[in-house]
Amino acid sequence: MFAITADQVDSRRRPDIAAETMRSLEVMLGEGLVLPVDRTAGDEIQMLVAAPGTALTAILALTRHGQWSVGCGIGSVNLPLPANAREAGGDAFVAARAAVNEAKKRDTRFALRSTAATDAADAEAFVDLLLQLRARRSAEGWEMCDLLLAGNSQAEAAKLLGITPQAASKRARAAALRVEFAARSPLERRLAAVDLFTGKGSRS
């Protein structure tokens, strides 16, 4: 299982965005959530998911604007599950706590921890590479990215943006969208391998 804990950056000097972020994640992740996104303390939120793709989607969404330090913990969880994430326990949640504390010290504001230490470090390094790539993306590149992720073709995105197909292709290349989209499945497989090593998820 994947427990994700996120702590708002510089929350004392910024408006509280926990509630709106929780709503956005609930819509984005939908049935992929094992437990609803929950506020655990003040400006901190937490969630539990089972699929590596859902975990990666949550990580990428939370790290996009640099507003959250994000920790992902992979491991077992205690059963039966409670109704909310703040009451849940197990190795995944312990690892997520360690990870979010470490994330606050890292350039990408992300960290990953599990009992499979070596495999987790490998997965963290690959996620870091993707986050560094995304951090250099322009606003125009993000426009193109969002349209393609919404299911539009590049030609359709060009029409929606009012630019030529050639300009759209240039934007996609500058934003390294092909690189990101190609990297997602291998990253999901790497996260799944860590989850498998830790025993797939739950204990009574």
Each domain of the chain, given as residue ranges in start order, spans 2-116+199-203
Paired tokens of 176: 């390294």
User: What is the C-alpha to C-alpha distance for residues 134 and 126, in angstroms, rounded to an integer?
Assistant: 13
pLDDT at 115: 80
pLDDT at 39: 94
pLDDT 10s per residue in the chain (204 long)?
A: 999 999 999 877 788 899 999 999 999 999 999 999 999 877 899 999 999 999 999 999 999 999 999 999 999 999 999 998 989 999 999 999 999 999 999 999 999 999 877 789 999 999 999 999 999 999 999 999 999 999 999 999 999 999 999 999 999 999 999 999 999 999 999 999 999 988 654 554
Residue range 2-116+199-203, CATH number: 3.30.70
pLDDT at 202: 55
User: What is the C-alpha to C-alpha distance for residues 6 and 109, in angstroms, rounded to an integer?
Assistant: 10
DSSP-derived pairing of the beta strands 33-41 and 110-114: unpaired
Neighbours of 35 (CB within 10 A): 20
